[in-house]
Chains A and B, each alone.
Chain A
Amino acid sequence: MSEFLNNIKNQFEKFCGENPSNDIVNDFRIKSFENFNNLGLPTTKDEDWRFTNLNEFYKNQYSIPPTKKEFNKNLISNSISDLDAHFIYLYNGKLVENDNIDNVVIKSLSSFLNEADLNTFNRFVDNHSVKNRDFTFELNSAFINDGVFIDVNEKAVIDKPIVLINYFDSSTSFSSYRNLINFNTLSSGQVVEYTFSDRDINFFSNKTTSFFLGDSTNVEHLSIDESSYHSYIFSNLKISQTNDSNFTTDSILIGGKIYRNNVHPVLNGQGSNSNILGLYLSKENQHMDNYMFVEHVEPNCGSRQLYKGLLKDSSKGVFHGRILVHNEAQKTDAKQTNRNLLLSDKAQVDTKPQLEIYADDVKCTHGATTGQIDKEALYYLRARGINLEDAKLIMIRSFTEELLEFINSNFILELHKKIVEEWFLNSDLAKTD
């Protein structure tokens, strides 16, 4: 671990030298790196990392990414490139190209950081709840430079979904980037983040996406990560919601050797609502750790978590569902569900709810289930002439499709289905124990 820390320290010094910025940013980087050092690297003795052992990750050495290059768009899967959408392209974390969208300002994060005054900086970068300090987020803050800033004008209704494509090639080793997406009052839209990489590369991805939802905004988000099965992915999704805003996020986890998926919505305005959906599809020796932290700050807000795991081979899943209801947040309605379908005797899931409620008039429920495909149901389907493999697929589909009920956007719904079906096809589901 000390070698890993030394490596990161060297990279941080190199990074600061290569990416000089203004005092606000420089100070923030240094402060964040100190926070990272003070937190230290987690072990399984830390409650928040109890089920995820990072020892093999700490044995690697990583270096910050090379300068940007031209994006070969032929590498993008047709399922994505054929979409009728506005595209934004990031290559190894850096913004390389984007479509122009009416009523939307798009710029690289580094230009945003260079131009931002202290107020703006604090609002978008240094204003996150610190109720849950996490080394990945502090490290992401220390290395703040890459990524994109998207600002949707007041009252704008974006005509087509925005699709952000993040591509990593084999020259990537350590990538840290942050996407800031701001929806001003009364605006609405759909944002898809699609991440992929060259096959079989071992890289360390530490990404943060922060959404800011103004009053009466309506936003749907889908995140798909199909990065290499040898990568270590640490993802932070932070959402800050003000009055009467509606947010739905749906994550499909496919890539990564170890994937840590932190999702942190903060319901900061009355009457806001958050749907937090996710599907982790793991196989072989993949390890997917979902850490939900839903923070209810203001009264009369609702949150609905539905995370489902489909685990094959010797893969492991974790679901940690934390809900924090602050004492002002009366009439909170928070619901959490985690369901897992194990497709092998060797697959394993650890699930843990954690409710902290400081208000007295709230509705807070949680539930978790883990099981295998129901044998009686399989027999019933087979007794009607359906082959074992098809019967399994029907049962698996019926398991994953529960998520679709919570997705409003037809675009996101269809894309979700397509990506999941592709995974089914590529995963030899019939060959389960």
Chain B
Amino acid sequence: MLEIVDLHAKIEDKEILKGLSLKINEGEVHSIMGPNGSGKSTLASILAGKEDYDITDGDILFNGESILEMAPEERAQEGIFLAFQYPIEIPGVTNSYFLREALNSIRKSKGENPLKPVEFVKIAKEKIKNLKMDESLLNRSLNEGFSGGEKKRNEILQMSILDPCMSILDETDSGLDIDALQIVANGVNSHRSPDKSFLVITHYQRLLNYIVPDFVHVLVGGKIVKSGDKSLALELESKGYSWLES
């Protein structure tokens, strides 16, 4: 589904990714772990199409097509979703209005009819119920005044409503207490299916107790230096990253 080939990227004059390769097939959950500054969030932003980066070499293929020239909205319309590490607050735009616009933009790109507000609210309420979240979330301004945990849960709600096939979670676990962590993990797990893939970026092994990955990769210095199964995460938890940094 997603294939990253020898990706080199820099911001301003600083090279962050230095030849990163990764292949994610349908239904797989991959986790990327790594120390601060290793390029984890840069990778997430580049996959979502943030324009601040220069791709100097390599390619990103999504279902076999390069997405490097695609705008963020086109990638989202194709089914790529990034749960932000720091979701943006937008006063004056309700969560409900924002999500309906987003969903209808995606539907429009597929040639489907837009949902009417009533139809949308019905779907949204159902999702909210499944995620054990509060309905009032819909009528509040987008992320405005949300606690850290609420923002992260709202990202998962968005994922659930927009129903992407490739979800990238950028340190969604940071700043979450154990209850919120479970809610987030349940949201992800209920979204898992044979045709949906995940890339879970995290600093800690903790989240992977709840979202069990098929593969774990270690990102150090802009490259994947080691890959393995879920036991690699436990090894990292006990040994740290220093043994992998040369």
- Chain A residues at the B interface, C-beta cutoff of 8 Å: 374, 376-377, 379-388, 390-391, 394-395, 397-399, 401-402
List A contacts of B162 (CB < 8 A).
384-385
B36-57 contacts to A, CB under 8 A, are 48-51
Q: Does B102 sit within 8 A of A, measured CB to CB?
A: yes
Alpha-carbon separation in the docked complex, A390 to B92 (Å): 15
Question: Which of the listed residues A376, A383, A386, A401 has the most CB atoms from chain B within 10 Å of its own CB?
Answer: A383
Q: Which residues does chain B contribute within 8 Å of A385, judged by CB atoms?
A: 73, 76-77, 102-103, 105-106, 109, 162
- CB-CB under 8 A from B88, the residues of chain A are 374, 376-377, 380
User: Which of A380, A399, A402 is the most central at the interface, judged by chain B CB atoms within 10 Å of its CB?
Assistant: A380
- A390/B101 in contact, CB under 8 A: yes
Q: Nearest 9 pairs between A and B by C-beta? A: A398-B92, A385-B76, A384-B102, A382-B72, A380-B88, A385-B106, A382-B73, A385-B105, A398-B93
Interface of A: prevailing SS: helix
Q: How far is the CA of A394 from the CA of B72 in the complex (A)?
A: 16
Contact of A383 with B76 at beta-carbon distance under 8 Å, contacts A390-B101, A394-B98, A394-B101 already known: yes
* Further contacts, 12 of them, CB under 8 A, given A379-B72, A382-B49, A384-B162: A382-B72, A383-B50, A383-B84, A384-B76, A384-B105, A385-B105, A386-B102, A386-B105, A390-B101, A391-B73, A395-B90, A395-B93
Number of residues from B at the complex interface, CB < 8 A: 28
A386-B101 contact in complex given A379-B72, A380-B84, C-beta closer than 8 Å = yes
Residues of chain B within 8 A (CB-CB) of A384 are: 73, 76, 98-99, 102, 105, 158, 162
- Cβ A381 vs Cβ B50 within 8 A: no
Would B98 and A381 count as touching, CB distance under 8 A? yes
Q: Are B105 and A390 in contact (CB under 8 A)?
A: yes
Q: How far is the CB of A304 from chain B (nearest CB, A)?
A: 18
Pairs A–B under 8 Å by Cβ, sample size 14: A376-B88, A379-B72, A380-B87, A381-B90, A382-B76, A383-B82, A384-B158, A384-B162, A385-B102, A386-B102, A394-B90, A394-B93, A394-B98, A398-B90
Question: When each residue 160-192 of chain B gets 1 if its CB lies under 8 Å from chain A and 0 otherwise, what string results?
Answer: 001000000000000000000000000000000
Partner among A374, A376, A387, A397 whose Cβ is within 8 Å of the Cβ of B73 = A387
Q: What is the CA–CA distance of A257 and B151 in the complex, to the nearest angstrom? A: 45
Please report the C-alpha to C-alpha distance between residue A101 and residue B72 in the assembled complex, in whole angstroms: 56
Whether the pair B92, A401 counts as a contact (CB closer than 8 A) is yes
A383 touches B49 (CB 8 A): yes
- Bound CA–CA A374/B101 (angstroms): 19
Chain B residues near A402: list those with CB within 8 A. Answer: 92
In the bound complex, residues from chain B placing their C-beta under 8 Å from that of A390 are 101, 105
B71: Cβ under 8 A from any A Cβ: yes
Interface string of B62-106 (1 = CB under 8 A from A): 000000000111011100001010011011110000110111011
Set of chain A residues within 8 Å of B51, measured between Cβ atoms: 379
Measured CA separation A27–B76 after assembly (Å):
72
Chain A proximity mask over B176-211: 1 for CB below 8 Å, otherwise 0? 000000000000000000000000000000000000
- Residues of A within 8 Å of B82, CB to CB, are 383
Are A379 and B50 within 8 A (Cβ)? yes
**Which residues on B sit within 8 Å (CB–CB) of A376?**
88
Q: What separation, in Å, do the CA atoms of A382 and B80 have in the docked complex?
A: 12
Contact partner of B105 (CB less than 8 A), chosen from A377, A379, A387, A398, is A387
Whether the Cβ atoms of B90 and A380 lie closer than 8 Å is yes
Query: What CA separation (Å) do A328 and B170 show in the bound complex?
Result: 59
Tell me the bound Cα distance from A28 to B92 in angstroms. 49
CA distance A376 to B88 in the complex (A): 7
Contacts of A382 in B (CB 8 A): 49, 71-73, 76
Q: Please, which residues of chain B bring their CB within 8 A of the CB of A394?
A: 90, 93, 98, 101
Residues of B within 8 A of A377 (CB): 88, 90
- In the bound complex, CA of A383 to CA of B82 (Å): 7
B137-171 contacts to A (CB < 8 Å)? 158, 162
Q: Which residues of A contact B87 (CB under 8 A)?
A: 380
Which chain A residues lie closer than 8 Å to B75 at the CB level? Answer: 383
A160 to chain B: closest CB distance in Å?
Answer: 29
Min CB–CB distance A397 → chain B (angstroms): 8
Contact of A388 among B73, B77, B99, B109 (CB under 8 A): B73
